[in-house]
Structures are given as C-alpha cells and as structure tokens.
Amino acid sequence: MAGYDFDLYIIGAGSGGVRASRIAAQAGVKVGICEDSRVGGTCVIRGCVPKKLLVYGSHFAEDFEDAAGYGWTVPEPSFDWSTLIANKDLEIDRLNLIYKKLLADSGVVLHEARGRLLDAHTLDVGGRKITAERIVIATGGHPVKPPIAGAEFAITSNEAFHLPELPPRIVVVGGGYIAVEFAGIFNGLGAEVTQVIRRDLVLRGFDEEVRTALQHELIKKGIIIRNHTEIVTIEKGEGFLRCRTAAGEAIEADAVMYATGRVPNTRNLGLHEVGVTLNKAGAVAVDEWSQTTVPNIYAIGDVTDRIALTPVAIMEGHYLANTLFHGRPMKPDHSNVPSAVFSQPPVATVGLTEEQARRTYGEVDIYATNFRPMKYTLSGRHQHSFMKLVVDARSDRVVGAHMVGDDAAEIIQGLAIAIKAGATKHQFDATVGIHPTAAEEFVTMRTKRAPHHAKAAE
C-alpha cells in the first residue's frame, strides 16, 4: 500500500463513515476521514437523536394528564421551548465530542473540511491534495423542498431543530415517518398541527392496517389531517404564512415544514468525473459488496439509497471494513431489517407487510389484535394499540410483525431476532408471555383471521 497518503480515506463522518474508519483502523492500516459539517452525521446532529429527545419532551403533557387517574395532583404545567432546545443542543455537542474522541482513540486522522474526488485515488480536502488506495463515499442525504412559489418560506427537519420559538400553528407537509414524527412533536408541545398528505393515509409502504391504525390515533390526538391535498404555493402575510392548495383552498399557519423526501448528497463530489455511476434516484450505484463502478471506490449509507437507516449504514460500514482489511468478506444483509417510526403512538415493524407477503407467498395467515393498554384504564385516555403477525401458511414461518402503540420499537426489536432466525408461529405460541404486558399479545394471538377478511394483494 506504499505510495499513498492513506490506505483508506472516507468522505463523510456520519454513523457509517465513522464505523468503517474505526474498524479499518483496528487492522493497523492508515485511515483518514473528512467532514464539512459536524462529526456524527445526520442521525447524531440533525436526525434521530435530537428528534427522539424532542419526542420525549412532547410526551409530558399527556403524562401529566394521565397522572390524575393514579391519584397524583399536578399543578398546571408550563412549557418553555427555549429550554428544551438549549438542553438538546448541549447533548448534541456532547455526542459530537464523543464521536471525535472515538476517531482519535482509534488512530483515524480527521480533517474537518469538504472532500471531493480529483481522480480514482486523489482527493481535494479543503484545498489540500490527499491520495488513498481505497476511498469510501459516506456523505448521506439531505431534505428537499418542492419547486413551488414560496418554498423559501418553509422549513425542513434541519431548521425545525433550531426554531427560535414554538410556532402556535404549523403545517407539516408529507406523510412519511419524518412528517408524522414532527407532527406528533409539535402537537404534543401544544401547537395546532395540520398535516397535509397527497394520499389517503400516512406512511406509504407500511402495512395498510398499520397505516389506518396510526392515522386514527393521530386524529384522536388532535392533529388535523388533510388527505388528498397538495400545496401549490406559499404566501407570506403579516406575521403568518398562507398555503394555497390545488383545490383553491387556503391554510394559514405560523410555520410550514416540508418532510416530503430526502436525496443523496452526491453533488460536487467529482463522482461523474472519475466514472462513479449514479442510479436513477441520483444515489451512488453499488454492488452487493458496496463497491461502485470504480473498483477502488466504495459507498455506504444513505448516499446509496438502499435502506436509509442509521443501523444499516453502520452495518454496511462495518462489513466493508471487515471485507477489505480483516480478511472476513461480509455482504450486508438487507432482509428483515426492523424499523421504527417515533410517531405518537409509535410504530415498529419487521419483515413483510400483509400485502407484500401475499404477493410473495400467495397463501398467508393473519393474526391481529387491537386493544386499550392497561395503563389507560385508570387515566381514561382512549389510545389503542394494534399488533399483527403475518405468517406464511405453507411453512408456518412468521414473515412479518407490526405494531402501533406504546413501546412498539422496544418490543419489535426483540421479535426481529426471532423473525431473522426463521421462527414459526408454533414457536411463538410455545413461548410463555410476560404478564401483564402488551408484548405478551405477540405470543398469545391464537385466532387466525377468517379468509374472507383477507385483503387482495395490491
């Protein structure tokens, strides 16, 4: 590997890039990484970590209300947005320093500057030429706003974390996981939330019953959902914004947040010039080993547009480093990847939806339950949980598990192991439940849904 400044150089110090660099460095090779923002990437700095902190903060209004049913007298609570944001920022600063220390302790050289390719082995990093035998693109993605008049008045999730004050009224545009999460955050903190979606239900691509169950709960919490609606212009008034819809209606608010999609960060990296191919989505095209069309250049994480989840980027980075430097060839497995939506109530899922399973296996068995959690029997809250198992009828293997309700992510994480291991419905049934819990429902559902209730495959 002589003749190069680095054996491995990574553009982008997010979760995937940091993991790849640290694992590679453990093999004793010289590793460098650059970042033009803050070390930690989308998840740590402007994504899942600060978002989850805001989700926690937004739950307290209901917790105070529920306490009365359990005999607690709570004085009229008040909320201060600036305190929450300041404390969130302190935690992000702490994590940023931890990530920097992890790199330093691993012997990885960090350049806090923008990197771009000059040729297959040469980079420009903040005006300095650096050479590397192998290069990894781990630049992630960013949110986008549509090209409509007045889009400059709207914010995205990036700016939502730094608003100077909580908007009394906000329009959240989009029906994906980021949109429903922020709709829940703003609603929980006391804002009047209108969520605008182009289709009939939120969370396109999720199980249809999950989508229906979540939307029903969001409406019960006071979120106004305007489905089959498209905003065509945003106008700035005296201290407010006015959204005009394709149907000619007007929606007024103090802020408008777009959460209608993210795109890979591939611009101005020199990818095209050196022969790295992008796919139709504008993401870096890679093979099953994360290798691009240039043999010594690889790509991991959201910039590849495979599964845009932090743990997936970490897996891809870890496996790539093992493959290249530890003599342990490992292909990332993107099947049965569990995921969660930190909506209110949260959603979690692993495996196939009912619709996907019917297309894949033909005959499937469905087990589902909808109930009011024990916690709310004394508080009087009318929130329900929904759980569902999708089973391949021929093999009895559980191929999908879905939940809407409190602690969904914590529960599905455990089930994901069973489904990854190929567990059958019989093995679920043979497992003793922990009582009283919501999770026990997944091992006590015995009644198969009648065939005439089964949905036809899409």
Which residues are tagged catalytic?
A: 435
Cα of 389 vs its chain's centroid, Å:
22
β-strand partners of 224? 194
Q: In which order are the strands placed within the sheet that holds 224-226?
A: 224-226, 192-196, 169-173, 255-258
**Token code pair at residue 87:** 């404390």
**Token code pair at residue 184:** 């829940």
- DSSP code per residue over 288-324: TTSB-SSTTEEE-GGGGTS---HHHHHHHHHHHHHHH
d(C-alpha 318, C-alpha 43), whole Å = 17
In contact, 61 and 77? CB cutoff 8 Å? yes
Element (H, E) at 148: none
- Kindly state the greatest CA–CA separation across the chain: 73
d(C-alpha 152, C-alpha 162), whole Å = 16
Going through 186-283 in order, the beta strands assigned E by DSSP cover 192-196, 224-226, 231-236, 241-245, 250-253, 255-258, 262-264
> In 26-168, which residue ranges form alpha helices assigned H by DSSP?
41-46, 48-67, 81-106, 157-160
